[in-house]
Homo-oligomer: A and B are copies of this chain.
Amino acid sequence: MSELPSRESLLEANAAYYQAFESLNMRAMLALWEESDRLFCVHPGWQALYGREAVMGSWRTIMSNTGRIRFTLTGLRAHIDGLVGRVTVHENIQSIAGGQRHSASAIATNLFSFDEEEGLWRLFHHHASLAGSPETTDIVN
């Protein structure tokens, strides 16, 4: 049973991405990215990563080094152009890693492609850039 690309399903796919990240669920992250070599990913402050191997490798690194991460998304906008869905969003990020609390604000471009056979959006492009300076504080027990 296939579905048509809709703004609602695009927003669900975008939400699934942040849910996979927050739950540090590598299996979900692997599944929601497209199986292709055109993958492109820029994590805030990182260099660009190209292709499935490099992108998924970065997720393994991030997930194994993150204790907790929470996103508050603001200014979310979604557009569909044929089988391409574009979501732009402000990511307000709170995380714990390496015994420290980090807070950062980023702007993200997320591009999804609609797989007509499966009736699913798959992420193929994530470009996140810092908006303002990130802050780090030690966790005092």
Q: Which residues of A contact B (CB under 8 A)?
A: 38, 40, 42, 47-48, 50, 75, 77, 79, 81-84, 86, 88, 90, 107, 109, 111, 113, 125, 127-131
Contact = CB atoms under 8 A, between A and B. Distances in A.
Contacts of A75: 48
A79 B96 CA distance: 36
Nearest to A75: B48
Contacts of A86: 111, 125
How many chain copies does the complex carry? 2
Given A40-B77, A48-B90, A84-B84, 17 more contacts: A38-B77, A40-B88, A42-B129, A47-B107, A47-B131, A48-B131, A50-B77, A81-B83, A81-B84, A81-B113, A82-B83, A82-B84, A86-B125, A109-B109, A111-B111, A127-B129, A128-B129
A130 B129 contact: yes
A107 B81 contact: no
A127 B107 contact: yes
Contact of A48 (B82, B107, B111, B125): B107
